[in-house]
Structure 1
Amino acid sequence: MNDSEMLELVCARAWPPVVDEPLGDWRLRWADGFTGRANSALAVGDPGRSVAAALTAVCDFAHDRGIPPVAQVIQDSATERAVAAAGWREWTEHAAGHEVSVLVGPLPAGPAQDAEILDEPTTAWWELAADSPSPGAAERHVLSTGKVGYGVVDVDDVDDAAGVTAGAVRGAIVDGWLHVSRLAVRPEFRRRGLASALMSALAGWGRAHGAERWVLQVAVDNEGALKLYSALGCTEHHRYRYWGPGPGACEDPQS
């Protein structure tokens, strides 16, 4: 495998689905619809059969579990060209953006700012990171499996908002990498440096747990996040895109 493929596997291990079945080097993933990454086939490496046959297996897996057939494919790779040749198309329906930039950078040194990294998620963390104070089993599995740190930043005395958790972030350690995700700041507290404070605290936590670099997966149209991560020294390593079957390329045997 090349460097981009290996890094995709690191990211996949940091974002574990509920069901993860091998298809050669490919991974068939299901997490009850929670995020595209955890409910798509990770199409990296050799699937052990032709790409067209592997995509048929992707369709069967998805149909059996009631999710759309989707493949996560490194942009401009030989695999992506083979996926297109098999009659699949870019899955632009993906709400979070079907084209994603994978960013990497060294963990910055320096003291953490006014944020902390918890060993267990709080209700407020779940509310910000998973959009629900009471997430389902799939969300809990994806977001809390592995070596995970839960970053929070609280605001004490702003407009009677004492004790409010104003921001949250998730960090996961895999093979010396710190995978960063779910960075969120409540709208009323944005533009106050809270996102930077969360990232600073997370970097310190990552260094303390053996990480030297961080990796992030960010939709290419998320300009605010890309600007923040660029300021933190991150650069683009590669991109991936989500692909879905075109007409007639993935028949549901139950239809």
Structure 2
Amino acid sequence: MNSREKLEIVCAKAWPAVVEEPLGQWTLRWADGFTGRANSTLAVGDPGRPLPDALEAVCDFAHARGISPAVQVLEDSDLERAVAAAGWREQVEHAAGHQVSVLTGPLPSAPSPDAEVLDQATPEWWELAENTREPGSAQRHVVTTGKVGYGVVLADGITAGAVRGAIVDDWLHVSRLAVAPAFRRRGLATTVLHALADWGRAHGADKWVLQVAVGNTGALALYSALGCSEHHRYRYWGPAPRTCEDRQS
């Protein structure tokens, strides 16, 4: 596998679906609809069968579990061109953005005494990062499985900033960065990210990786200021209308 494919596997391990089944080197994933990453097939490597058969297997897996068929494919790859030629289309309706930039960079070393990283997510962390105090079982599985830390920063006595970090090998995977609207433009995002970087370094990581929708210009600017640059992009693809509905019966 090339470096882009290997990094996609790292990211997938940091955001584990509830159900993961191999399709050759691809991974079929289901998490009850919680995020595109955990409910699409990670299409890297060889699926072990002709592409039309592999895409049929993606449809069958998704329909059996009540989610829309989707594949996560490296942008401008031979596989993406083959998926397009098979009649699939870019999932432009994907709510979080169907085109994603994967950023990498060395962990910064600035101290961050005003934030901390917890071993367990508090109700306040859940409310800010996930907009709920009562996550469902699939949501809890994805967010809490693995070596995970939950960064928080307080302001005026409340949790004003939150972020999730997961360790995979020597990578720190960063996700779920959120700052309460009343506390934005105070540098809290940078503060909590520095604390997470310190935590990641203490747990064996020396670099971080982030997956950011290309339309999220604010986040891209923030991570660029922290020394991150684009490693590659991926896109979500789904079947054209009526391409695989007939296989549900």
Query: 4+ runs of 1 displaced by more than 2 Å?
Result: 251-255
Q: Which amino acid aligns with 1:21?
A: E
CA distance in 2, matches of 1:216, 1:114: 23
Q: Which residue of 1 aligns with 2:99?
A: 99
**1:212 aligned onto 2:197:** no
CA positional deviation for 1:128: 1.3
**1:168 aligned onto 2:162:** yes
Q: Which residue of 2 aligns with 1:193?
A: 187
- Aligned residue for 2:174, secondary structure, equals strand
CA positional deviation for 1:64: 0.1
Answer yes or no: is the 8 Å Cα contact 1:152–1:167 preserved in 2: yes
**1:236 aligned onto 2:230:** yes
Write out per-residue CA displacement over residues 59-113 of structure 1, whole angstroms, 9 at most, x where no aligned residue: 0000000000010000000110110011000001100000000000000113124
- Aligned residue for 1:253, secondary structure, equals helix
CA distance in 2, matches of 1:58, 1:252: 14
CA distance in 2, matches of 1:12, 1:51: 22
Q: Which amino acid aligns with 2:110?
A: G
Answer yes or no: is the 8 Å Cα contact 1:86–1:249 preserved in 2: no
- Aligned residue for 2:172, secondary structure, equals strand
CA positional deviation for 1:240: 0.2
Write out per-residue CA displacement over residues 27-60 of structure 1, whole angstroms, 9 at most, x where no aligned residue: 0000000000000000000000111111100000
CA positional deviation for 1:254: 3.5
Answer yes or no: is the 8 Å Cα contact 1:170–1:182 preserved in 2: yes
Q: Which amino acid aligns with 1:37?
A: R
Q: Which amino acid aligns with 1:14?
A: A
CA distance in 2, matches of 1:208, 1:124: 25
Answer yes or no: is the 8 Å Cα contact 1:126–1:133 preserved in 2: yes
Aligned-pair Cα RMSD in Å: 0.9
1:105-184 → structure 2 map (5 Å cutoff) = 105-156=105-156, 163-184=157-178
**1:66 aligned onto 2:66:** yes
CA distance in 2, matches of 1:110, 1:224: 21
- Aligned residue for 2:167, secondary structure, equals strand
Match of 1:203 among 197, 210, 215: 197
- Aligned residue for 2:173, secondary structure, equals strand
1:83-98 → structure 2 map (5 Å cutoff) = 83-98=83-98
Write out per-residue CA displacement over residues 173-198 of structure 1, whole angstroms, 9 at most, x where no aligned residue: 00100000000000010000000001
CA positional deviation for 1:129: 1.5
Q: Which residue of 2 aligns with 1:159?
A: none
CA distance in 1, matches of 2:200, 2:248: 47
Aligned-residue identity in percent: 73
- Aligned residue for 1:16, secondary structure, equals coil
Answer yes or no: is the 8 Å Cα contact 2:60–2:248 preserved in 1: no
CA distance in 2, matches of 1:52, 1:6: 24
In the alignment of these two chains, the number of paired residues is 249
CA positional deviation for 1:13: 0.1
CA distance in 1, matches of 2:181, 2:246: 42
CA distance in 1, matches of 2:31, 2:170: 25
Q: Which amino acid aligns with 1:200?
A: H
CA positional deviation for 1:250: 1.6
CA positional deviation for 1:251: 2.5
In structure 2, the gaps of 5 or more residues are none
Answer yes or no: is the 8 Å Cα contact 1:113–1:200 preserved in 2: no
